[in-house]
Amino acid sequence: MTSKQNSNPFYDPTLSKRHRASRFFKLFAKSSVVFTLSFLIFFMVDILSTAAPAVKQAYVQVEVEFSERNAKSTRRAIPKGIAKL
């Protein structure tokens, strides 16, 4: 079979090595894309799961006292225990 290949003027003995390297490079490129996408998905899920509680809306019902004294200093209108919220 080698004599048949040697009779071919386009035969290059290094071609099989080159094809092997090409297959390895393609495999390496595909695996790096999959690896990168998996990290991207992981970080997006992590960011969204961490940020989800910040998006929730909350309501607080507070009693406010209106008086002449509180009109001058609005901080006195809300009880001290609730003001720290």
pLDDT digits (tens, 9 = 90+) for 26-49: 999 999 999 999 999 999 999 999
Q: Which residues of 13-29 are buried (b: 16+ CB within 10 A; e: fewer)?
A: eeeeeeeeeeeeeeeee
pLDDT digits (tens, 9 = 90+) for 59-73: 778 777 677 776 777
pTM of the entire structure? 0.49
